[in-house]
Amino acid sequence: MAVATAMAPDAGGQAPVSRGFSGRPRDRSVGDRLPPGQYLVHDFPVLSAGPTPYVPLDRWDFSVLAVDGSPLARWRWDEFRALPEETVTCDVHCVTKWSKLDMQWRGVSLDVILEGLDVDTAHVMAFADGGYTTNLPVGDATDGQAWIATGYDGHDLEAEHGGPARLLVPHLYFWKSAKWIRGLQLLERDKPGFWEGLGYNNYGDPWREQRYWGD
Amino acid sequence: MARTTVLGRLSWRVATVSSRAPETSRAVTLVLDVPDWPGHRPGQHVDVRLTAEDGYQAERSYSIASAPGDPALALTVERLDDGEVSPWLTTVAAPGDVFELRGPVGGYFVWDGSEADPVLLVGGGSGVVPLMAMARHRARQAIPTRMRLLYSARSEQDLLYRSELDGLAAGDDGFDVVYALTRATPPGWTGYDRRVDGAMLADVSFPERHTSPAFVCGPTPFVEAVANSLVLLGHPPGRVKTERFGPTGGGS
Amino acid sequence: MTSASALDGNALGGPLGELFTFDITSAVATCAGCGRRSPGAAWVVFVDAPGIVARCAQCERVQLRLVNDGTGRTWVDLSGIETLEIAAPRGGA
């Protein structure tokens, strides 16, 4: 259950500027490669809603679950790494306004994962270690738009960045690219995930600046 | 008309720097002018928000260093090299500069001398700041309750408030301070020369540890290790109050 | 549960102080998961955006979540807390 409260904006209006403060280096000069409101970073910020989970690879698995929770497919780590992988070069846009361009990810396309499965619903919920969830239309998870990524920039994905495997859906805000993903559950009806149920936009298109509920 | 306290919601207000003074090579104390400041309790903190010309904002928390009775509100900030707010506060902020401030915050990590039990304070790095507010309050109000501060820092040059703490301890009024330097000690050093551990905490804990309060503040791993050790030594878990500053030990 | 980068519930005092007139850090919460009673200050707190998440130090279950959407709207989820015990406010600052 979530409770929304409306707060009146500060009567004074603008916050006072602190002379000489500019914050971390923020580059907006890459023209039309940045969605509205974003700035470029050159590091890779770590933002988490909980402690970093550490799952031994011999206990890791990835599942696709039907609407009733029954497994449609399941891979252990060695089986998963045997699936065909791609290199994906993409830009990443976080709702907290940082963007990182031309990241090179290594991952398995969701088209490969869902191939041959009876995906008869329009929505899916990604679920991860630590209880994090995020929802997606199936149409945004297929046709070369989404991957389960196990590495980037030439190395394995570290735990703090979502390793051993995270979802990668670069055309949406990066909160949809769930860290520590363990599976996808088909949804009979769309329902909001961890952040979507607490004020964030249900879809999250950075190019239409769909950050929050109602945007 | 008697002054009443309005228990309303916290909101951001504008603070103006009235003076700055270096404490160490990395830390600065800023004395602030905050109109209608309601006062605070020792151990509380404030949230600081900076706004850039383009509207970008960054927000961090800093413990209040001054005692409630002091003439002005003071914060002691340690500069973190890769920080976003602390470099501005420690190297740019000058008298007349402004930023936003919200507080005082917190009713848990507070010691105001209302109990007579001897109190143990354990601070790591900039975690000593809220503990200093408690020590200053004790001195200002001449509270006789015994208080001991175990203060861990990397080297003598990193110790905040050194001469003031030694002065309070020399007063022989029930306050004492024990230093632990973890990386480098000067010649003739008589304090501890290692990281805080269970044996050290056993040395500094009061005989009344089974009932007396303890306050632990500093980087998260430091706080967790110390708090666990204190509980193992017999301090009641509910009486060991902690404030974690995150991985780097202070607002960045 | 430890996480080197985590803060504790003391960090919630400011953001929640804008919403509630009581002090969350000294309020005693009962975890809806494991039943642990602890002051809000003892929660393990992650303050990185997209939002603030406070977890039970014993069982990790989310106690409280908060999102400020930057347009003046705040969303709060308290469903991880079974009950909150709030002491009478202290007279004076």
What is the per-residue pLDDT across A110-158, written as a single tens digit (0 to 9) for each?
999 999 999 999 999 999 999 999 999 999 999 999 999 999 999 999 9
Kind and range of the H or E run holding B120:
strand B119-124
C79 Cα to chain B: minimum distance (Å): 22
Report the 10 Å Cβ neighbour count for A119.
18
User: What is the rounded distance in angstroms from the CA atom of residue C5 to the CA atom of residue B249?
Assistant: 10
A2 Cα to chain C: minimum distance (Å): 4
Compute the residue count for chain C.
93
Residue of B11, B12, B50 with shortest CB distance to A18: B50
Number of C-alpha atoms within 13 angstroms, CB side, residue C89? 14
Nearest CA in chain A to B58: A23
Residue of C17, C42, C93 with shortest CB distance to B105: C17
Compute the residue count for chain A.
215
- Spans of all domains in chain C: 7-82
pLDDT surpassing 70 at residue A6:
no
DSSP string, C5-34: T-EEGGGGHHHHHTT-SS-TTTSEEEETTT
- What number is the ipTM of this complex? 0.90
Residue of A8, A47, A199 with shortest CB distance to C48: A47
Which domains does chain B possess?
13-105 (2.40.30.10), 119-244 (3.40.50.80)
Q: In the beta sheet, which residues pair with residue C77?
A: C65
A–B interface: beta-carbon pairs under 8 A: 46
- Spans of all domains in chain A: 31-45+62-208
A202 and A125 in contact (C-beta within 8 Å)?
no
Residue of C2, C18, C67 with shortest CB distance to A199: C67
Q: What is the pLDDT of residue A9?
A: 42
- Residues of chain A found within 8 Å of residue B57, distances taken between Cβ atoms: 15
Q: What is the pLDDT of residue C1?
A: 52
B102 and B46 in contact (C-beta within 8 Å)?
yes
Q: What is the pLDDT of residue A26?
A: 79
Q: Considering only CA atoms, which of B15, B17, B39, B46 is closest in space to residue B29?
A: B17
Confidence tier at B2 by pLDDT (50, 70, 90): very low
Kind and range of the H or E run holding A110:
helix A110-114
The arithmetic mean of pLDDT across residues B165-173, rounded, is 93
User: What is the rounded distance in angstroms from the CA atom of residue A130 to the CA atom of residue A128?
Assistant: 6
Q: What is the pLDDT of residue A8?
A: 44
pTM attached to this predicted model: 0.92
To which residue do tokens 């105001």 refer?
Answer: B112
Q: Which residues of A touch C (CB under 8 A)?
A: 1-9, 46-52, 95-96, 130-131, 175, 195, 197-200, 211-213
- Residues of chain B found within 8 Å of residue A20, distances taken between Cβ atoms: 88, 92, 97
- Contact call for C67 and A50, based on CB within 8 A: no
Q: How many angstroms separate the most distant Cα atoms in chain C?
A: 37
- Contact call for C51 and A198, based on CB within 8 A: yes
* Residue type, position B103, single letter: G
Which residues, 6 or more positions from B13, have their beta carbon under 8 angstroms from its beta carbon?
A: B34, B35, B36, B100, B101, B102
Q: Which residues of A touch B (CB under 8 A)?
A: 10, 15-24, 26
Say whether the peptide bond before residue A164 is cis (omega within 30 degrees of 0): yes
What is the per-residue pLDDT across A151-185, written as a single tens digit (0 to 9) for each?
999 999 999 999 999 999 999 999 999 999 999 99
- Contact call for A16 and B98, based on CB within 8 A: yes
A–C interface: beta-carbon pairs under 8 A: 91
C32 and C80 in contact (C-beta within 8 Å)?
yes
What is the per-residue pLDDT across A34-77, written as a single tens digit (0 to 9) for each?
999 999 988 888 888 999 999 999 999 999 999 999 999 999 99
C64 shares contact with chain A (CB less than 8 Å): no
Secondary structure letter of residue B91 according to DSSP:
I
∠ CA A19-A23-A28, rounded to 5°:
110
B89 and B77 in contact (C-beta within 8 Å)?
yes
B85 Cα to chain A: minimum distance (Å): 7
Q: Considering only CA atoms, which of B137, B127, B121 is closest in space to residue B235?
A: B121
Confidence tier at B252 by pLDDT (50, 70, 90): low
Q: Both tokens of residue B251?
A: 């607002």
- Contact call for C10 and B45, based on CB within 8 A: yes
Considering the four listed CATH numbers 3.90.420.10, 3.40.366.10, 3.40.50.720, 3.40.50.300, the one that applies to the domain covering A31-45+62-208 is 3.90.420.10
